Amino acid sequence: MNSVSITPGKNNVGAYINDVNLNKLNSGLAIQIKDILNKYGVIFIKKQNLDSNAYQNFAKSIGQLVEYPRLKGLKNFPYINVLERKPSDKSLAFGGSWLHQDTSYLENNRPRYTMLMGIEIPEGQGNTIFSSGFNAYKNLPDEIKQKIKNAKGVFSSAGPISKTRLELEKRAGIQSAKVLEAEHPIVQKVNGQKTLYVSPGHLLKIKNIDEGEKIKNFLINHVNKEEFIFSYEWSKGDLVLWDNLSVMHKASEIKNCSRIMHRITIK
């Protein structure tokens, strides 16, 4: 079995997987891709242009697919959600403005991975911005590492990012009756590698720690540092897959143009 070649992303955030054709997916290739994903947190596979069947098959090779109730699915593929930005949309992009880890406000059964494929991509806009929890943790001062080793974060669906969720629900004509809240350790491990789990868009406070508010603000500023960030520029047919334990993301601003992405959420 040939091993695939990779190129790390800017600031060592994630990795491009080169010269693969996911239309010819086999179990050996799927295992290699998942290993790279676990090591780097986010993978970028350029210009695959998969049909819905091939896209969903690839997602199944990573894990169990999850229906996402707040976004509409494709007619025969309910697990493939459509993220559409119309030229007339004036609101923030979905997932915009705050780095976050998807559904950190769920106690159990948090979906682990999120995948996007570019269907219609505007020229020069609509980058997705990633921050590596691996790199952010590695570069913390030792005294902070000590302080947060047993700390827990309280994450809420009514956190700072909730305005994009409320906007989405308004468009879909639904209303969330209740606020979802969960606690998770701020330091997580993926295959033995420690990562920061702070989801700034959802984090309300940090528990089990002195100076919790001060450290919360320090960590949010830390993961937003330029040296941990990679702004990914999309092409049509690109596929990007990330692990919500180890990578934060946010949408960048999009104005006066059309953009369509297909998204799959994976456990």
Question: What six digits make up the tokens of 75?
Answer: 């007619």
What string of DSSP letters covers 9-61?
PGGG-SEEEES--GGG--HHHHHHHHHHHHHHSEEEE------HHHHHHHHHH
Q: How confident is the model at residue 68 (pLDDT cuts 50, 70, 90)?
A: confident
pLDDT at 71: 72
The CATH code of the domain that includes 245 is 3.60.130.10
Strand-pairing partners, residue 259, are 85
Angle at which helix 52-62 crosses helix 27-40, to 10 degrees, equals 60
pTM value is 0.91
pLDDT at 70: 67
CA 185 to chain centre: 18
Domain residues for 114? 5-266
Q: How many domains does the chain have?
A: 1
- State the distance between the two ends of the chain, measured CA to CA, in whole angstroms: 27
Residues constituting the chain: 267
121-175 pLDDT, tens digit each: 988 888 999 999 999 999 999 999 999 999 999 999 888 887 655 565 565 566 6
Q: Average pLDDT in the 231-242 region?
A: 97
- In the chain, the percentage of residues whose pLDDT exceeds 70 is 90
